[in-house]
Amino acid sequence: MIIVNLDVIMAKRKISLNELSEKTGITPTNLSILKTNKAKAIRFSTLEVICKALDCQPSDILEYRSDNDDR
């Protein structure tokens, strides 16, 4: 299972969904889908603009958890 930790990084950077939307050009709706782990896929170009706006690495946003991981 891939977990999107966008909400964690946004909180660390103290940036709102609307601010991130303005910086990236990604709609708040699409960012919300990512933030709530409802996305089925993400384009590298989308990941790139998010990482640039948040000054982070893809691994800060995406995390792999196995089905038997007890977190």
- pLDDT tens column, 28-50: 999 999 999 999 999 999 999 99
Q: What is the pLDDT of residue 52?
A: 98
Total tally of structural domains belonging to the chain = 1
CA distance 8 to 48: 17
Instruction: Decide if pLDDT at 53 tops 90.
Output: yes
- pLDDT tens for 55-67 read 999 999 999 998 7
- Residue 17's Cβ-side half-sphere holds a number of Cα atoms within 13 Å equal to 11
Q: What is the pLDDT of residue 69?
A: 66
Q: What is the CATH number of the domain that holds 15?
A: 1.10.260.40
Domain residue limits at 45: 2-60
